[in-house]
Protein backbone atom coordinates (compact mmCIF):
# COMPACT_ATOMS: atom_id res chain seq x y z
CA UNK A 1 0.00 0.00 0.00
CA UNK A 2 1.32 3.42 -1.00
CA UNK A 3 0.55 5.59 2.06
CA UNK A 4 0.70 9.32 1.40
CA UNK A 5 0.37 12.00 4.08
CA UNK A 6 -0.80 15.24 2.46
CA UNK A 7 -1.51 18.66 3.85
CA UNK A 8 -4.29 21.23 3.58
CA UNK A 9 -6.57 22.08 0.66
CA UNK A 10 -3.74 21.60 -1.85
CA UNK A 11 -3.25 18.12 -0.39
CA UNK A 12 -6.95 17.35 -0.80
CA UNK A 13 -6.70 18.36 -4.46
CA UNK A 14 -3.75 15.95 -4.91
CA UNK A 15 -5.32 13.04 -3.03
CA UNK A 16 -5.85 9.78 -4.90
CA UNK A 17 -7.16 6.33 -4.06
CA UNK A 18 -8.89 5.79 -0.74
CA UNK A 19 -8.73 9.21 0.91
CA UNK A 20 -9.10 10.04 4.60
CA UNK A 21 -9.88 13.72 5.14
CA UNK A 22 -8.68 14.47 8.69
CA UNK A 23 -10.01 17.26 10.90
CA UNK A 24 -9.57 16.49 14.61
CA UNK A 25 -10.41 19.97 15.98
CA UNK A 26 -13.31 19.77 15.37
CA UNK A 27 -15.30 18.91 12.25
CA UNK A 28 -15.00 15.16 11.97
CA UNK A 29 -14.88 14.53 15.70
CA UNK A 30 -18.14 16.48 15.94
CA UNK A 31 -19.69 14.40 13.14
CA UNK A 32 -19.01 11.20 15.08
CA UNK A 33 -20.79 12.70 18.09
CA UNK A 34 -23.67 13.77 15.83
CA UNK A 35 -24.11 10.18 14.65
CA UNK A 36 -23.94 8.99 18.24
CA UNK A 37 -26.94 11.28 18.81
CA UNK A 38 -28.83 9.56 15.99
CA UNK A 39 -28.80 12.06 13.13
CA UNK A 40 -30.12 10.65 9.84
CA UNK A 41 -27.28 11.98 7.70
CA UNK A 42 -24.87 14.89 7.31
CA UNK A 43 -24.52 17.01 4.18
CA UNK A 44 -20.98 18.50 4.00
CA UNK A 45 -20.94 21.88 2.28
CA UNK A 46 -18.04 24.11 1.28
CA UNK A 47 -19.96 27.33 0.76
CA UNK A 48 -22.09 29.10 3.39
CA UNK A 49 -24.57 30.39 0.79
CA UNK A 50 -25.16 26.82 -0.42
CA UNK A 51 -25.82 25.81 3.18
CA UNK A 52 -28.45 28.55 3.55
CA UNK A 53 -30.07 27.43 0.27
CA UNK A 54 -30.31 23.82 1.48
CA UNK A 55 -31.90 24.97 4.71
CA UNK A 56 -34.42 26.99 2.72
CA UNK A 57 -35.46 23.83 0.85
CA UNK A 58 -36.37 22.18 4.16
CA UNK A 59 -36.57 24.18 7.37
CA UNK A 60 -36.30 21.00 9.47
CA UNK A 61 -32.66 20.63 8.47
CA UNK A 62 -30.10 21.72 11.07
CA UNK A 63 -27.35 24.20 10.15
CA UNK A 64 -24.04 23.49 11.89
CA UNK A 65 -20.75 25.20 11.13
CA UNK A 66 -18.11 27.84 11.63
CA UNK A 67 -15.76 30.29 10.03
CA UNK A 68 -12.58 31.10 11.98
CA UNK A 69 -14.00 28.95 14.77
CA UNK A 70 -17.11 31.08 15.29
CA UNK A 71 -20.66 29.97 14.55
CA UNK A 72 -21.84 31.15 11.14
CA UNK A 73 -24.51 33.83 11.21
CA UNK A 74 -28.00 32.36 11.22
CA UNK A 75 -26.79 28.83 11.97
CA UNK A 76 -28.34 26.63 14.62
CA UNK A 77 -25.08 25.43 16.19
CA UNK A 78 -21.36 25.97 15.95
CA UNK A 79 -18.72 23.33 15.21
CA UNK A 80 -18.55 22.25 18.86
CA UNK A 81 -19.24 18.72 20.11
CA UNK A 82 -19.72 20.04 23.65
CA UNK A 83 -22.31 22.60 22.62
CA UNK A 84 -24.53 19.97 20.94
CA UNK A 85 -24.17 17.56 23.86
CA UNK A 86 -27.68 18.01 25.27
CA UNK A 87 -29.43 18.76 21.98
CA UNK A 88 -32.01 16.21 20.70
CA UNK A 89 -31.02 15.52 17.09
CA UNK A 90 -32.29 11.99 16.43
CA UNK A 91 -33.57 11.63 12.88
CA UNK A 92 -32.38 15.09 11.83
CA UNK A 93 -30.50 15.96 8.64
CA UNK A 94 -27.49 18.16 9.42
CA UNK A 95 -25.95 20.62 6.95
CA UNK A 96 -22.31 21.06 7.98
CA UNK A 97 -19.79 23.62 6.74
CA UNK A 98 -16.38 24.40 8.22
CA UNK A 99 -13.19 26.27 7.40
CA UNK A 100 -11.16 23.10 6.90
CA UNK A 101 -12.76 19.65 7.05
CA UNK A 102 -15.70 20.06 4.69
CA UNK A 103 -13.45 22.04 2.31
CA UNK A 104 -11.27 18.94 2.04
CA UNK A 105 -14.22 16.81 0.96
CA UNK A 106 -15.22 19.40 -1.63
CA UNK A 107 -11.71 19.50 -3.11
CA UNK A 108 -10.79 15.79 -3.10
CA UNK A 109 -12.08 15.27 -6.62
CA UNK A 110 -9.43 12.74 -7.72
CA UNK A 111 -10.13 10.34 -4.85
CA UNK A 112 -11.78 7.00 -5.58
CA UNK A 113 -13.42 6.98 -2.14
CA UNK A 114 -13.53 9.43 0.78
CA UNK A 115 -13.93 8.80 4.49
CA UNK A 116 -13.45 11.28 7.31
CA UNK A 117 -10.67 11.10 9.89
CA UNK A 118 -10.40 11.84 13.60
CA UNK A 119 -8.86 10.41 16.75
CA UNK A 120 -12.21 9.38 18.18
CA UNK A 121 -12.62 6.65 15.55
CA UNK A 122 -9.03 6.12 14.35
CA UNK A 123 -8.93 2.34 14.90
CA UNK A 124 -12.22 1.88 13.06
CA UNK A 125 -10.68 3.82 10.18
CA UNK A 126 -7.66 1.50 10.21
CA UNK A 127 -9.89 -1.59 10.11
CA UNK A 128 -11.79 -0.11 7.18
CA UNK A 129 -8.56 0.62 5.31
CA UNK A 130 -7.31 -2.92 5.92
CA UNK A 131 -10.59 -4.33 4.61
CA UNK A 132 -10.42 -2.18 1.46
CA UNK A 133 -6.64 -2.72 1.00
CA UNK A 134 -6.24 0.11 -1.53
CA UNK A 135 -3.19 0.50 -3.76
CA UNK A 136 -3.02 4.18 -2.75
CA UNK A 137 -4.05 5.60 0.62
CA UNK A 138 -4.13 9.40 0.99
CA UNK A 139 -4.23 10.78 4.53
CA UNK A 140 -5.08 14.46 4.16
CA UNK A 141 -4.45 16.72 7.17
CA UNK A 142 -6.75 19.71 6.75
CA UNK A 143 -5.00 21.94 9.27
CA UNK A 144 -6.14 25.38 10.39
CA UNK A 145 -8.56 26.82 7.86
CA UNK A 146 -7.10 24.50 5.26
CA UNK A 147 -4.10 26.79 4.84
CA UNK A 148 -1.59 26.01 7.63
CA UNK A 149 -0.61 22.77 9.32
CA UNK A 150 -2.31 21.71 12.56
CA UNK A 151 -0.41 19.39 14.90
CA UNK A 152 -3.49 17.35 15.82
CA UNK A 153 -4.31 16.44 12.21
CA UNK A 154 -0.75 15.41 11.38
CA UNK A 155 -0.67 13.41 14.62
CA UNK A 156 -3.85 11.59 13.61
CA UNK A 157 -2.41 10.76 10.17
CA UNK A 158 0.81 9.41 11.67
CA UNK A 159 -1.16 7.42 14.25
CA UNK A 160 -3.25 5.75 11.54
CA UNK A 161 -0.13 5.04 9.50
CA UNK A 162 1.70 3.57 12.51
CA UNK A 163 -1.11 1.10 13.20
CA UNK A 164 -1.21 0.05 9.56
CA UNK A 165 2.54 -0.56 9.61
CA UNK A 166 2.51 -2.16 13.10
CA UNK A 167 4.91 0.49 14.40
CA UNK A 168 5.22 1.64 18.01
CA UNK A 169 3.55 5.00 18.56
CA UNK A 170 3.02 6.62 21.95
CA UNK A 171 -0.30 8.20 21.05
CA UNK A 172 -1.47 8.86 24.62
CA UNK A 173 1.52 11.08 25.48
CA UNK A 174 1.47 12.79 22.09
CA UNK A 175 -2.19 13.67 22.59
CA UNK A 176 -1.41 15.23 25.98
CA UNK A 177 1.25 17.41 24.35
CA UNK A 178 -1.45 18.93 22.15
CA UNK A 179 -2.73 20.78 25.18
CA UNK A 180 0.24 23.17 24.91
CA UNK A 181 1.01 22.74 21.21
CA UNK A 182 -2.04 22.69 18.98
CA UNK A 183 -4.93 22.88 21.43
CA UNK A 184 -3.95 25.80 23.65
CA UNK A 185 -6.89 27.93 22.47
CA UNK A 186 -9.31 25.56 24.20
CA UNK A 187 -7.84 26.59 27.57
CA UNK A 188 -8.15 30.35 27.10
CA UNK A 189 -10.73 31.55 29.68
CA UNK A 190 -11.78 34.50 27.49
CA UNK A 191 -12.56 32.24 24.52
CA UNK A 192 -14.79 29.58 26.05
CA UNK A 193 -17.89 30.60 24.08
CA UNK A 194 -16.06 29.74 20.83
CA UNK A 195 -13.59 27.04 21.89
CA UNK A 196 -14.86 25.41 25.10
CA UNK A 197 -12.27 23.37 26.99
CA UNK A 198 -14.57 20.34 26.86
CA UNK A 199 -14.14 20.25 23.06
CA UNK A 200 -10.44 19.50 23.51
CA UNK A 201 -11.13 16.45 25.65
CA UNK A 202 -14.02 15.23 23.51
CA UNK A 203 -11.95 15.50 20.31
CA UNK A 204 -8.89 13.77 21.79
CA UNK A 205 -10.66 10.72 23.21
CA UNK A 206 -9.09 7.76 21.46
CA UNK A 207 -11.12 5.17 19.57
CA UNK A 208 -14.47 5.66 21.26
CA UNK A 209 -16.55 5.08 18.11
CA UNK A 210 -16.55 1.76 16.22
CA UNK A 211 -17.66 3.21 12.88
CA UNK A 212 -16.33 5.20 9.95
CA UNK A 213 -18.02 8.08 8.18
CA UNK A 214 -18.15 7.63 4.39
CA UNK A 215 -18.83 10.27 1.76
CA UNK A 216 -21.48 9.06 -0.68
CA UNK A 217 -23.79 10.67 -3.25
CA UNK A 218 -27.50 11.21 -2.75
CA UNK A 219 -30.20 11.19 -5.45
CA UNK A 220 -29.23 14.78 -6.34
CA UNK A 221 -25.56 13.74 -6.84
CA UNK A 222 -24.77 15.78 -3.72
CA UNK A 223 -22.17 14.68 -1.16
CA UNK A 224 -23.61 13.16 1.99
CA UNK A 225 -21.80 11.58 4.94
CA UNK A 226 -23.13 8.26 6.20
CA UNK A 227 -22.13 6.09 9.13
CA UNK A 228 -20.70 2.72 8.12
CA UNK A 229 -19.75 -0.29 10.24
CA UNK A 230 -17.80 -2.80 8.22
CA UNK A 231 -18.07 -2.64 4.44
Residue 67 to residue 77: CA distance in whole angstroms = 12
DSSP string, 94-113: EEEE-SSHHHHHHH-TTEEE
Dihedral over alpha carbons 221, 223, 224, 226 (to 10 degrees):
100
- Domain containing 99: what range? 2-228
Half-sphere exposure of 18 (CA within 13 A, CB side): 19
3-class secondary structure, 55: helix
93-135: pLDDT as tens digits: 999 999 999 999 999 999 999 999 999 999 999 999 999 999 9
Report the percent of the chain where pLDDT is more than 90: 97
Question: For position 76, which CATH number holds?
Answer: 3.90.1560.10
Q: How many structural domains does the chain have?
A: 1
For residue 196, pLDDT over 80 is answered with yes
Output 46 or 219, whichever has higher pLDDT.
46
Residue 226 to residue 113: CA distance in whole angstroms = 13
Point out the least confidently predicted range of 99-108, 137-146, 214-223.
214-223
pTM above 0.95, yes or no: yes
221 — pLDDT class (breaks 50, 70, 90): confident
Strand partners, 209: none
Q: What is the pLDDT of residue 219?
A: 82
Amino acid sequence: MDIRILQLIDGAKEAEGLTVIIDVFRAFSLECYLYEKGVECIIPIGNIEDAYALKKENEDRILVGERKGKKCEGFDYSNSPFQIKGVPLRGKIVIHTTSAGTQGITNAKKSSEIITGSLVNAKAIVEYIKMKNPDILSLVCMGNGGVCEAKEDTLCANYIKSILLSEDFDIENKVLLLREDGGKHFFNPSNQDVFPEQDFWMCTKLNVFPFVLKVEKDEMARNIIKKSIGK
